[in-house]
Amino acid sequence: MQKIFDEVNSLDKRCYEEFFLNEDILMEHAASSICSYIEDIFEENKSVLIVCGSGNNGADGLALARLLYKKFDVSLYLASAPKSPMAKLQYKRVKTLNIKEVDEPFEADILVDCLFGTGLNKPLDEKYLTLIDTLNSYNSFNIACDIPSGINHFGQISSSTFEADVTITMGALKTSLFSDFSKDYVGEIIVSNLGVQREIYETQTNKFLLDESDMKLPFRNKKNSHKGSYGHLNVVAGCKKGAGIIAAKAAFGFGAGLVSVVCHENLDLPYHIMQTHFISENCTAIAIGMGLGKYETDEIRKILNKKVAKIVDADLFYDDLICEVLDQEIVLTPHPKEFVSLLKLCEIADISVQELQNNRFLYVEKFCKKYPNVVLLLKGANVIIAQNEKIYVNSFGSAVLSKGGSGDVLSGLIGSLLAQGYKPLEAAISASLAHAMGARNYKKNNYSLIPSDLVEEIRKL
């Protein structure tokens, strides 16, 4: 996993004070990293348009123009005159080389956005909205310097935003790159070296980006074992029984030795899935909430208070019954609307879904501070998994998963790992990664996934 930071100004300052690297040196490395990327990917003499703002993001672009000059056909478009000391200095250097400046942007082979970066702190005015829309209309290869212009340091987007094919971010990963809104604009994310390796530049943080290597699949290394060695998951089925059945199938395919669906009505289940009318005596984990609908409160309360690992989803986030079990080590998997309801029930915040999406990390932190034992998995374009003070981001998700039943598969995967003895946080992380990787491996049209396809892809991991 990789570290994520809310801000990097303090990390830059540390470079100045501890390593005697000044701002000019860091900027030279920032520009050099973009230069190296362009040199590696593109043939010489390709046209490059660098669009610069007045601050240090623009200064990065001016330094880049100097580094690319003569090897590529470089043009500079200054959206506003250099204002920061570094921008003025870099512009003075550029002027000595007579690098071409243009009065209007144009469609180049390579387009580099150096307008604002993380310095954006207010809504864009009409001039910049029009400029960004114009840049997005070109058929260029788009590179964003640090962060696409239009995304602020909270990861919020108020209007037009530069659509990058790749974002080369400086020094370390930023939280703003992983808001749900950012997902459509950042493209591939590459971290630039600013004069020292990331291990030196970075300090302590509570946020981490998950890598594929963080997925721990439930491979069976013990030869002397039986079905009971791998746990018994009980999946509680409610009004929408299909949700529970999907979760049960996913759980069985992800390694649980036994899976039973708990339902008072007789169900048509695959032969390898059992049915019971009550929680099994030997169950090692419970999955509950998916398609639950209307239910008998006392019965659900009794299930929730069983002293076994649990994953809770969906309908229970609208009932204050959930508040009675938040002292337990359980996994909660709400989508944004459900999390908004949960925040209100827990008297943490009464907000809209839009307000949550604008500040996902903030409200996850608020919830986990109040309920440090709970593992929270907030669904979204970038899944956030958190417990206590630690936050993990799974950025591998895709629109392939935007289908009914995908969440039920995830519940089954988490429940399966819990039944097999995974700790709640480990189960949430590995199941979420498997869920996303299974969808990524799906080869048919991205609109056509059904739950059984997803389960099958996960079985191949």
> All domains of the chain, ordered by start, with CATH?
2-204 (3.40.50.10260), 213-459 (3.40.1190.20)
- Binding site residue list: 56-60, 113, 117-123, 128, 146, 149, 243, 291, 335, 407-408
Cβ(365)–Cβ(347) under 8 Å? no
- Binding site residue list for (6S)-NADPHX: 56-60, 117-123, 128, 146, 243, 291, 335, 408
Q: What local confidence, expressed as pLDDT, does residue 402 receive?
A: 95
CA 440, 254, 278, 286 dihedral sign is negative
Residue with tokens 């005015």: 125
Report residues of the chain scoring pLDDT below 50. none
Q: What local confidence, expressed as pLDDT, does residue 122 receive?
A: 78
- What is the β-pairing status of strands 274-276 and 258-262? parallel
Q: What local confidence, expressed as pLDDT, does residue 123 receive?
A: 81
Question: Which residues fall within 8 angstroms of residue 5, CB to CB, at 6 or more apart?
Answer: 11, 172, 173, 174, 175, 202, 205, 207
Q: What local confidence, expressed as pLDDT, does residue 148 receive?
A: 96
Q: Record the tokens describing residue 28, joined without a space.
A: 């030279």
Render pLDDT for 209-250 as a digit per residue (tens, 0 to 9). 999 999 999 999 888 999 888 999 999 998 899 999 999 999
- Binding site residue list for AMP: 407
Q: What local confidence, expressed as pLDDT, does residue 439 receive?
A: 94
Q: Record the tokens describing residue 116, joined without a space.
A: 């604002």
* pTM of the entire predicted model: 0.94
Q: What local confidence, expressed as pLDDT, does residue 420 receive?
A: 97
* Torsion angle, alpha carbons of 256, 258, 262, 267, to 10: 110
Q: Record the tokens describing residue 19, joined without a space.
A: 């390593």
Question: Which residues fall within 8 angstroms of residue 340, CB to CB, at 6 or more apart?
Answer: 351, 352, 353, 356
- Binding site residue list for K(+): 57, 113, 149
